[in-house]
């Protein structure tokens, strides 16, 4: 059964970065490591660019899961950071849910490692409590495409919208006239082909004489 189109709203969105930890990152095999890291950092950059409230969380850092990606802590030094002592489902930690509710927002944009657990479990829990949930597929990873696909199917069936970071950025931006250079710079920083497009555009624009000339 199809559902009506529900757009991301800058005034309603909050970004959740769940368990992008050194140990867990070593499990990601459904996306190339360099590409995956780029995608995660793209989400961080778009969150900062659009000034979307962002919440960071980790699970059992002192164990094999390891510490959070240092780039994320550096990007969001003042963001809520919930270090869960053991809860596998982030939604089971009261401080994590409280941080989300404190934003007053209803659209949760979530990415994490690994997809079928660290993304799917809190996404499904949030859906059950009436939130809109958007999972960023290319900034979430796991150890096998079959496992990933099962997680995507489970979330989608429950009403989670599956998106890529590029789609999230464009849907939040809505209109090029909002800030051409800003969005173009964000996209160019993480998509080589888009950087080529903008380089070509800049060269062409510079080669065309102005009317005043």
Are the C-beta atoms of residues 137 and 152 closer than 8 Å to each other?
A: yes
DSSP state of 210: P
C-alpha to C-alpha distance for 166 and 169, rounded to whole angstroms: 5
Which helix (H) or strand (E) segment is 161 a member of? strand 161-163
**Residues near 69 by beta carbon (within 8 Å), at least 6 away in sequence:** 20, 21, 22, 25, 37, 40
Catalytic residue among 90, 118, 136, 139: 118
Residue 17, φ and ψ in degrees, nearest 5:
-110, 110
For 40-122, list the strands marked E by DSSP. Answer: 54-59, 81-84, 107-112
Q: In terms of C-beta density within 10 A (0-12 exposed, 13-18 middle, 19 or more buried), how is residue 119 classed? A: buried
Q: Is 118 a catalytic residue?
A: yes
Give kind and range of the element (H or E) at residue 203.
helix 192-207
- Show which residues are catalytic: 118
């Amino acid at each position: 059964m199809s559902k009506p189109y529900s757009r991301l709203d800058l005034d309603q969105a909050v970004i959740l970065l769940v368990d992008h930890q050194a140990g867990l990152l070593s499990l990601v095999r459904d996306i190339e490591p360099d590409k995956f890291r780029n995608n995660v950092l793209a989400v961080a950059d778009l969150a900062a660019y659009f000034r979307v409230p962002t919440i960071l969380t980790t699970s059992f850092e002192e164990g094999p899961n390891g510490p959070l990606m240092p780039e994320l802590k550096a990007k969001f030094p003042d963001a809520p950071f919930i270090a869960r002592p053991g809860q596998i489902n982030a939604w089971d930690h009261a401080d994590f849910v409280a941080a989300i509710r404190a934003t007053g927002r209803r659209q949760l944009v979530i990415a994490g490692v690994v997809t079928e657990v660290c993304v799917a479990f809190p996404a499904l829990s949030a859906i059950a409590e009436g939130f809109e949930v958007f999972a960023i597929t290319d900034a979430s990873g796991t150890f096998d495409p079959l496992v990933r696909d099962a997680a995507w199917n489970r979330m989608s069936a429950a009403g989670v919208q599956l998106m890529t970071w590029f789609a999230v950025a464009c849907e939040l931006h809505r209109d090029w006239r909002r800030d051409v250079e800003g969005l173009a710079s964000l996209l160019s920083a993480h998509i080589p082909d888009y950087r080529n497009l903008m380089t070509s555009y800049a060269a062409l624009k510079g080669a065309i004489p102005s009317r005043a000339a």
